[in-house]
Amino acid sequence: MKSVLSVVLLLAIFTQSGLAQEAKKEKPNRGEQNKKVMEEVQGLYKQWQSAFNAKDAAALSKLYNVKTDVLFDDDVRRRSRKEMAKYFREEFKNKPNVKQTLTEVEYQILSPRIVVETGVWQNMGGTDESAPSGGRYAAIWAKKKGKWVIVHDRGWPVSTEK
Protein backbone atom coordinates (compact mmCIF):
# COMPACT_ATOMS: atom_id res chain seq x y z
CA MET A 1 0.00 0.00 0.00
CA LYS A 2 2.83 2.39 0.86
CA SER A 3 4.44 1.83 -2.55
CA VAL A 4 1.14 2.61 -4.33
CA LEU A 5 0.78 5.84 -2.34
CA SER A 6 4.39 6.72 -3.06
CA VAL A 7 3.88 6.19 -6.79
CA VAL A 8 0.66 8.25 -6.75
CA LEU A 9 2.41 11.01 -4.79
CA LEU A 10 5.38 11.02 -7.18
CA LEU A 11 3.05 11.12 -10.20
CA ALA A 12 1.20 14.05 -8.66
CA ILE A 13 4.46 15.88 -8.04
CA PHE A 14 5.74 15.25 -11.58
CA THR A 15 2.38 16.24 -13.07
CA GLN A 16 2.23 19.42 -11.00
CA SER A 17 5.82 20.22 -11.88
CA GLY A 18 5.09 19.74 -15.58
CA LEU A 19 2.02 21.97 -15.41
CA ALA A 20 3.98 24.65 -13.63
CA GLN A 21 6.63 24.53 -16.36
CA GLU A 22 3.95 24.81 -19.06
CA ALA A 23 2.37 27.78 -17.27
CA LYS A 24 5.76 29.50 -17.17
CA LYS A 25 6.20 28.93 -20.90
CA GLU A 26 2.78 30.40 -21.71
CA LYS A 27 2.97 33.49 -19.49
CA PRO A 28 6.09 35.67 -19.62
CA ASN A 29 7.36 36.95 -16.31
CA ARG A 30 6.67 40.52 -15.25
CA GLY A 31 10.19 41.71 -16.10
CA GLU A 32 9.92 40.42 -19.66
CA GLN A 33 6.46 41.95 -20.04
CA ASN A 34 7.64 45.33 -18.77
CA LYS A 35 10.66 45.26 -21.06
CA LYS A 36 8.42 44.56 -24.07
CA VAL A 37 6.00 47.32 -23.06
CA MET A 38 8.85 49.82 -22.60
CA GLU A 39 10.17 48.97 -26.07
CA GLU A 40 6.72 49.71 -27.47
CA VAL A 41 6.01 52.95 -25.59
CA GLN A 42 9.40 54.62 -25.49
CA GLY A 43 9.30 57.28 -28.11
CA LEU A 44 5.53 57.78 -28.18
CA TYR A 45 6.18 61.31 -26.95
CA LYS A 46 8.50 61.80 -29.95
CA GLN A 47 5.65 60.83 -32.30
CA TRP A 48 3.39 63.33 -30.55
CA GLN A 49 6.02 66.09 -30.61
CA SER A 50 6.89 65.46 -34.28
CA ALA A 51 3.24 65.59 -35.36
CA PHE A 52 2.73 68.77 -33.31
CA ASN A 53 5.78 70.50 -34.76
CA ALA A 54 4.77 69.43 -38.28
CA LYS A 55 1.34 71.04 -37.60
CA ASP A 56 -0.27 67.72 -38.53
CA ALA A 57 -3.62 67.83 -36.73
CA ALA A 58 -4.78 64.58 -38.34
CA ALA A 59 -1.70 62.62 -37.20
CA LEU A 60 -1.92 64.13 -33.73
CA SER A 61 -5.59 63.31 -33.29
CA LYS A 62 -4.95 59.69 -34.36
CA LEU A 63 -2.74 59.34 -31.28
CA TYR A 64 -5.88 59.81 -29.18
CA ASN A 65 -8.53 57.19 -28.52
CA VAL A 66 -11.88 57.67 -30.28
CA LYS A 67 -13.34 58.41 -26.84
CA THR A 68 -10.70 60.29 -24.92
CA ASP A 69 -10.63 62.69 -21.97
CA VAL A 70 -8.34 65.70 -22.44
CA LEU A 71 -7.94 68.89 -20.45
CA PHE A 72 -5.15 71.32 -21.28
CA ASP A 73 -4.29 74.73 -19.84
CA ASP A 74 -7.27 76.34 -21.66
CA ASP A 75 -9.57 74.46 -19.23
CA VAL A 76 -11.79 73.09 -22.03
CA ARG A 77 -12.60 69.40 -21.74
CA ARG A 78 -12.38 67.42 -24.97
CA ARG A 79 -13.85 63.92 -25.09
CA SER A 80 -13.30 62.65 -28.60
CA ARG A 81 -10.71 62.26 -31.31
CA LYS A 82 -12.84 64.57 -33.48
CA GLU A 83 -12.70 67.32 -30.85
CA MET A 84 -8.92 66.87 -30.60
CA ALA A 85 -8.52 67.24 -34.38
CA LYS A 86 -10.57 70.45 -34.29
CA TYR A 87 -8.56 71.77 -31.33
CA PHE A 88 -5.23 71.14 -33.06
CA ARG A 89 -6.40 72.65 -36.38
CA GLU A 90 -7.46 75.83 -34.56
CA GLU A 91 -4.28 75.88 -32.47
CA PHE A 92 -2.08 75.71 -35.57
CA LYS A 93 -4.19 78.28 -37.43
CA ASN A 94 -3.91 80.73 -34.51
CA LYS A 95 -0.24 79.97 -33.77
CA PRO A 96 1.40 79.06 -37.09
CA ASN A 97 4.94 79.33 -35.68
CA VAL A 98 4.42 77.39 -32.46
CA LYS A 99 6.86 74.57 -31.70
CA GLN A 100 6.80 72.27 -28.72
CA THR A 101 9.51 70.41 -26.86
CA LEU A 102 8.77 67.60 -24.42
CA THR A 103 11.40 66.80 -21.79
CA GLU A 104 11.80 64.90 -18.53
CA VAL A 105 9.58 62.19 -20.02
CA GLU A 106 8.98 59.16 -17.82
CA TYR A 107 6.78 56.10 -18.17
CA GLN A 108 5.04 54.16 -15.42
CA ILE A 109 3.77 50.75 -16.52
CA LEU A 110 0.50 49.89 -14.81
CA SER A 111 -0.16 46.79 -16.90
CA PRO A 112 0.90 45.40 -20.29
CA ARG A 113 -1.90 47.52 -21.80
CA ILE A 114 -1.86 50.70 -19.68
CA VAL A 115 1.03 53.14 -19.28
CA VAL A 116 1.23 56.59 -17.68
CA GLU A 117 3.55 59.11 -19.33
CA THR A 118 4.59 62.28 -17.52
CA GLY A 119 6.86 65.11 -18.53
CA VAL A 120 7.42 68.80 -19.12
CA TRP A 121 6.21 70.75 -22.17
CA GLN A 122 7.68 73.98 -23.51
CA ASN A 123 6.10 76.03 -26.32
CA MET A 124 8.05 78.50 -28.42
CA GLY A 125 6.92 80.76 -31.23
CA GLY A 126 3.39 81.37 -29.98
CA THR A 127 1.83 84.73 -30.75
CA ASP A 128 -0.11 85.16 -27.50
CA GLU A 129 2.25 86.58 -24.86
CA SER A 130 -0.33 86.01 -22.12
CA ALA A 131 -0.56 82.27 -22.87
CA PRO A 132 1.58 79.94 -20.76
CA SER A 133 4.77 78.85 -22.49
CA GLY A 134 5.50 75.79 -20.40
CA GLY A 135 4.19 73.33 -17.91
CA ARG A 136 3.76 69.70 -17.01
CA TYR A 137 1.61 66.95 -18.43
CA ALA A 138 0.38 63.45 -17.66
CA ALA A 139 -1.05 61.16 -20.33
CA ILE A 140 -2.47 57.68 -19.99
CA TRP A 141 -1.78 55.43 -22.96
CA ALA A 142 -3.81 52.27 -23.54
CA LYS A 143 -3.08 49.53 -26.02
CA LYS A 144 -6.20 48.96 -28.10
CA LYS A 145 -6.34 46.63 -31.08
CA GLY A 146 -2.55 46.43 -31.05
CA LYS A 147 -2.03 50.22 -31.12
CA TRP A 148 -1.13 52.62 -28.30
CA VAL A 149 -3.55 55.57 -27.97
CA ILE A 150 -4.05 58.31 -25.40
CA VAL A 151 -7.20 57.78 -23.34
CA HIS A 152 -6.60 60.52 -20.76
CA ASP A 153 -4.40 63.62 -21.06
CA ARG A 154 -3.81 66.56 -18.75
CA GLY A 155 -1.54 69.54 -19.32
CA TRP A 156 -1.13 72.45 -16.93
CA PRO A 157 1.07 75.54 -16.91
CA VAL A 158 3.91 75.99 -14.48
CA SER A 159 5.27 79.42 -13.75
CA THR A 160 8.90 79.90 -14.71
CA GLU A 161 9.17 83.07 -12.63
CA LYS A 162 11.07 82.80 -9.35
Decide if 73 contacts 155 (C-beta within 8 A): yes
Question: Could you state, in chain order, the average pLDDT of each consecutive group of 10 residues for the chain (162 residues)?
Answer: 43 43 56 93 94 97 98 95 98 94 96 97 81 91 97 90 55
Record the pTM. Answer: 0.78
Q: Phi/psi zone of residue 153: left (φ > 0), alpha (ψ -120 to 50 degrees), beta? A: beta
| Residue 155: partners with Cβ closer than 8 Å, 6 or more residues away | 71, 72, 73, 121, 135, 136, 137
Decide if 92 contacts 65 (C-beta within 8 A): no
E strand residue ranges, the chain: 64-71, 77-78, 99-111, 114-124, 134-144, 147-157
Q: Which domains does the chain have, with CATH numbers?
A: 42-157 (3.10.450.50)
